[in-house]
Structure 1
Amino acid sequence: MQPALQTAWLTRVRDHMAARSTDMAESVARVDVARYTDPARLAAEQALFRRTPLALSFASKLAQPGDYVTHDLAGLPILLLRDAGGELQAFLNVCRHRGAKLVWERGGCGKRTLTCPYHAWSYDLTGKLRGIPHEAGFAGLDRAQHNLVRLPVAEAFGLVFVLPEPSDDYDFSGFLAGVKDDLDSFGLGSHVLYDEREIGLRCNWKVVIEGGLETYHVQHAHKRTIAPMFADNVAVADRLEPHARLYFTKRNAAELGDDLSGRNVRDYGNPLYYIFPNLIILVQPDHATVMTVFPQGADACIVQGGALIPQPPATEKATTYWDKNVKIFWDALDEDFQMGQAIQAGFRAGANTHVTFGRFEQACAWFHDSLDKRLTP
């Protein structure tokens, strides 16, 4: 993170700690509970996912030629791979013959060709159609029109972003511009995946995202896990439309004095980056944790996540260290998940017609506003 921004953030935090205050919007915000239960709203959000860049894999899972990952949670079957020349590729995971799913495994390594399990049409790792059994039966076929459908793909911050909608030209740098400099400065591009998880939940996907966008709940919902480490409802928040940047302040920020030169924000709190629409990156003192949330129904979603650590653990001591760190993260998230499922049941009970976001829950209001602006293409 740029020194000037670090100093600005820590100045805001220091002043909030002294005044027992926090960043706040001018007013409260309200959203209709139907946003979390209406099938039509869900369909519009799922359509938005298909035309928005999504983080679909950790880059370290696709480090070597022949590495591949499949992803089906964004509403389309997607195949990611590293081709023989080292280039990252993304395709619709669909054979161009009869539309069968081309690669069925969740991921692996050592792929040299892609062969459809239905009729054995085969493709190279750049998506070119290479083999057609009994090719005489397809006389006149234009092979170039039957290559795999390519999707825009890019690496950033140790993650792989894909635009699920085919496009000849997409500017990922423009989409990520608001957060790129910060996240690049943390060195996450060279980090590797540790302890990947996938969790199904009985709640709307937006409830999970909202849990990461405010600190108001920490002292209450997390009193058995992380609450002792963090100040009570002290945060700074910046809107980077459509993304957001927050800083979850630790109790030791009370020690900050007038001279903030050389201070590192990672020592006094956790920077958190929300990347629209469904990605949260939590930056910790020596690593980062990542969570993506994919809607699977109005009352169902799947969370995928893991830790980005500087290098694979080489000793038992290192493994124990990282296991302990990621356990803290997932234990706290489990508390959020249980609360989120109870919230969804509350929505279905009909007790409330709307959700109210307090002035210090402004990032939740930003999240909904950004969604609303983009639901109609």
Structure 2
Amino acid sequence: MQAAQQIDWLERTRRNMAAGASDMVDSIARIDVARYTDPARLAREQDLIFRRHPMAVSFSSKLAHPGDVVTHDLLGIPILLTRDREGRLNAFLNVCRHRGAKLVWQREQCGQRSLVCPYHAWTYDLVGRLRGIPHEEGFTQLDRATHGLARLQVAEAFGIVFVVPQPGEDYDFDGFFTTLRDDLDSFGLGSHVLYDEREIGIAGNWKLVVEGGLETYHVRQAHRATIAPMFADNVAVADRLGRHARLYFTKRNAAELQGQPLEGKSVRDYGNPLYYIFPNLVILVQPDHATVMAVFPQGTDTCIVQGGALIPEPPQNDKARLHWDRNVKIFWDALDEDFQMAQAIQPGFRSGANSHVTFGRFEQGCIWFHEEMDRVLDSGQSKTQN
């Protein structure tokens, strides 16, 4: 985050702390609870949002060396990532071009020189080219050049690997990340390494889990047993960044900013900057590392969270491991409270008690989240109808 942006955030934080208030939008918003229970709505989200936008599917440090291979299956589409012998990152559909078998079954491999289908042993290189066909005399009319692996658009940013799951033309990743890249690059996340990766199943709609990171209103009550004592009650700074958002979870020590010059001070010392990346990714920047959470729908009432910590370097000794274990535990313990809340809300939606959800003026992150989804879904529907 640039120095001018940090000063702006700290100035707004100081003002909000003095007033005991938060940034707010002009009006409340109401949405129908069917958004969380309707299978047709979920199908449209998966088609128009999760298939056609960049998805965080892995971490750069898991593909740090030539021959590293990672698979990802949480989008309902088998995805395969490789670091080829030239050091380039590649993404493909994890599907053999012979009979459609899943090509790589392991979640992670290293030191690979080729990819061999477990069904008939068709072999591909790490760039996706078809290199070997057993008993090739049976395929004399086959054009190898058109039977390479189906390529997906891929990019690395902030230590995370993003893939557009639907094959197609070049994707404008720079345009997608334009309002985020300067901030997140300034925290050095691109050179950080993954620590304590986790995958957690939740009996709740995916949007409930994302919403838990988009407002500070719930912290005092929902997190009273974990992180609430560290944070000011519902004092936040929030910026809309196109389809994305940037929020500041303000710590109690931000009261020290009153009457102090702000030049040279770091936002990491007085709160946690949180970045929401459309549609399902949250990056929480902490004093010496960041934590990452991506949410993948598995049904109207179920989802899977995949995430972990990005730390400056692999721990070199037990003392360093203990430090990171303690820090990461705080993150996951707080998230577990959010997950439990989502799992309690979902049956309530099914009960018929409420016809709608109401978001307050200081829950603007949730409002923006739904507005951006509506914009994409409405645009996709109109194109289909035309």
TM-score when normalising by structure 1: 0.99
The whole-number CA distance in structure 2 between the counterparts of 1:46 and 1:169 is: 20
Code of the aligned partner of 1:349: S
How far apart are the structure 2 equivalents of 1:288 and 1:82? Answer: 24
The whole-number CA distance in structure 2 between the counterparts of 1:361 and 1:251 is 20
Q: Tell me the residue number matched to 2:292.
A: 290
Q: 2:310 aligns with which of 280, 291, 308?
A: 308
The CA deviation string for residues 177-224 of structure 1, in whole angstroms up to 9 with x for no partner, is: 111110000000000000000000000000000000000000000001
- For residues 222-264 of structure 1, the C-alpha deviation after alignment (integer angstroms, 9 at most, x for no partner) is 0010000000000000001100000000000001034111110
Q: Distance in 1 between matches of 2:125 and 2:70?
A: 16
Deviations 1:119-173 (A, max 9, x none): 1110000000000011111112111110001111111100001111112311111
Aligned: 1:365 with 2:373: no
Q: Which runs of 5+ in 2 are unaligned?
A: 381-386
Aligned counterparts of 1:253 and 1:169: Cα–Cα separation in 2? 44
Q: What is residue 254 of structure 1 aligned with on the other side? A: 255
Which residue among 256, 266, 269 is the counterpart of 1:267?
269
- What aligned pairs does 1:215-226 form with structure 2 within 5 A after superposition? 215-226=216-227
Distance in 1 (alpha carbons) for counterparts of 2:376 and 2:361: 24
**RMSD in angstroms over aligned alpha carbons?**
0.7
Alpha-carbon contact 1:50-1:75 (below 8 Å) kept: no
Cα distance between partner residues in 1 of 2:359 and 2:318: 45
Amino acid at match of 2:164: L
* 1:85 shift after superposition: 1.1
User: How many angstroms apart in 1 are the aligned matches of 2:193 and 2:375?
Assistant: 35
1:324 to 316, 323, 326: 326
With normalisation by structure 2, the TM-score equals: 0.97
Aligned residues: 377
Q: State the partner residue of 2:354.
A: 352
Q: Name the SS of the counterpart of 2:85 in structure 1.
A: coil
Partner secondary structure for residue 359 of structure 1: coil
Q: Secondary structure at the match of 2:340?
A: helix
- Equivalent residue for 2:89? 88
Question: Equivalents in 1 of 2:269, 2:123: separation in Å?
Answer: 52
Question: Are the equivalent residues in 2 in contact too, given 1:243–1:276 (CA < 8 A)?
Answer: yes
Counterpart residue type for residue 331 of structure 1 = D
Unaligned stretches of 5+ in structure 1? none
Q: Secondary structure at the match of 2:92?
A: strand
Paired residue type of 1:221: A
- Is 2:16 aligned against 1:16? yes
The equivalent residue for 2:197 is: 196
Are 1:149 and 2:150 matched, yes or no?
Answer: yes
CA contact (8 A) 1:46 1:75 kept: no
| Whole-angstrom distance in 1 between the partners of 2:322 and 2:331 | 15
Task: Report deviation, 1:368.
Answer: 0.3
Q: Distance in 2 between matches of 1:149 and 1:70?
A: 14
Q: Check the 8 A contact 1:91/1:150 in 2, yes or no.
A: yes
Give the whole-Å Cα distance in 1 for the aligned partners of 2:126 and 2:3: 43
Secondary structure of the structure 1 residue equivalent to 2:194: strand
Secondary structure, counterpart of 2:333 in structure 1: helix
Q: Please say if residues 66 and 109 of structure 1, whose CA atoms lie closer than 8 Å, have aligned partners that are also in contact.
A: yes
Q: Which residue of 2 aligns with 1:3?
A: 3
Query: Aligned residue for 1:26?
Result: 26
Q: Deviations over 1:299-352 (max 9, x none)?
A: 000000000000000011000000000000000000000011001011011100
User: Which moved further from structure 2: 288-297 or 255-264?
Assistant: 255-264
Match of 2:228 in 1: 227
User: Aligned partners of 2:169, 2:374: CA distance in 1, in Å?
Assistant: 27
Single out whichever of 101-110 and 285-294 deviates more from structure 2.
Answer: 101-110
SS of residue in 2 equivalent to 1:178: coil
Secondary structure of 2:62's match?
helix
Match of 1:98 in 2: 99
1:41 aligned onto 2:41: yes
**Residue type of the alignment partner of 1:231:** A
CA distance in 2: counterparts of 1:371 and 1:89, whole angstroms = 28
